[in-house]
């Protein structure tokens, strides 16, 4: 059993992100047949104008893929966003008792006391033992996974267009959200703002 921290990684290469504003402008100007007004520095003003006017459908033409390391419970919240594509670590196929994946990995939510962490970790050791026993008795990973907790670490890659990322990071990064979701979305939104300040 290993305790890991939640995290995110932007999978979309930086050079693709760096060219997004120009591509959005080129696509957006089709609506107004104003391609002749494009210059080497016109993208920012154009995109600011379309976002301010509410014409956000234009920013849907660009996507960013982000890999999240989070617990299974938080991943269930992420996949509720339907305007996205997902690839997630599969408890059906991953065998957490093999040499490759010897230990189940778990994530503590923020705010637990040391006593609460210790109590949970004792439970997780028992889960690990039971999982390994069931696998050794011939159960398949897809059957043995039934005893794994929501705190199980998962990796999920989520690809959304920019408009959806604006929405996701806004509603999943506000007070009242799951504390682990806030650990992911607040710094992610700040990073996306750093990369694309006009959009985020």
Q: For 37-91, write each residue's pLDDT tens digit.
A: 999 999 999 999 999 999 999 999 999 999 999 999 999 999 999 999 999 999 9
Q: Specify the number of domains making up the chain.
A: 1
The full 3-state SS of the chain, as one line of letters, equals: CEECCCEEEECCCHHHHHCHHHHHHHHHHHHCCCHHHCCCCCHHHHHHHHHHCCCHHHHHHCEEEEEEEEEHHHHHHHCCCCCEEEEECCCCCCCCCCCCCCCCEECCCCCCCHHHHHHHHHHHHHHHHHHHHHHHCCCCHHHHHHHCCCCEEEEEEEEEEHHHHHHHHHHCCCCCCCHHHHHHHHHHHHHHHHHCCCCC
| Domain housing 136 | 1-13+64-195
Q: Is the residue at 132 inside a domain?
A: yes
CATH code at 86? 3.30.1360.170
- What is the model's pTM? 0.93
Q: Is the residue at 33 inside a domain?
A: no
Q: Is the residue at 73 inside a domain?
A: yes
Q: Is the residue at 56 inside a domain?
A: no
């Amino acid at each position: 059993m290993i305790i890991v921290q939640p995290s995110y990684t932007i999978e979309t290469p930086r050079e693709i992100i760096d060219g997004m504003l120009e591509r959005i402008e080129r696509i957006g100007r089709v609506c107004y047949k104003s391609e002749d007004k494009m210059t080497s520095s016109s993208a920012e003003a154009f995109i600011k104008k379309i976002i301010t006017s509410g014409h956000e459908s234009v920013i849907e033409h660009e996507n960013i893929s982000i890999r999240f390391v989070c617990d299974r419970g938080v991943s269930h919240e992420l996949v509720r966003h339907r305007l996205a594509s997902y690839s997630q670590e599969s408890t059906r196929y991953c065998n957490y008792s093999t040499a490759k994946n010897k230990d189940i990995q778990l994530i503590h939510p923020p705010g637990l006391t040391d006593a609460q962490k210790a109590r949970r970790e004792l439970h997780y050791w028992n889960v690990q033992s039971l999982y390994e026993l069931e696998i050794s008795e011939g159960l398949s990973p897809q059957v043995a996974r039934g005893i794994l907790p929501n705190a199980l670490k998962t990796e999920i890659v989520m690809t959304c267009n920019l408009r959806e990322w604006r929405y996701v990071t806004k509603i999943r990064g506000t007070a009242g959200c799951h504390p682990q979701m806030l650990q992911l979305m607040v710094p992610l939104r700040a990073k996306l703002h750093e990369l694309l300040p006009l959009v985020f």
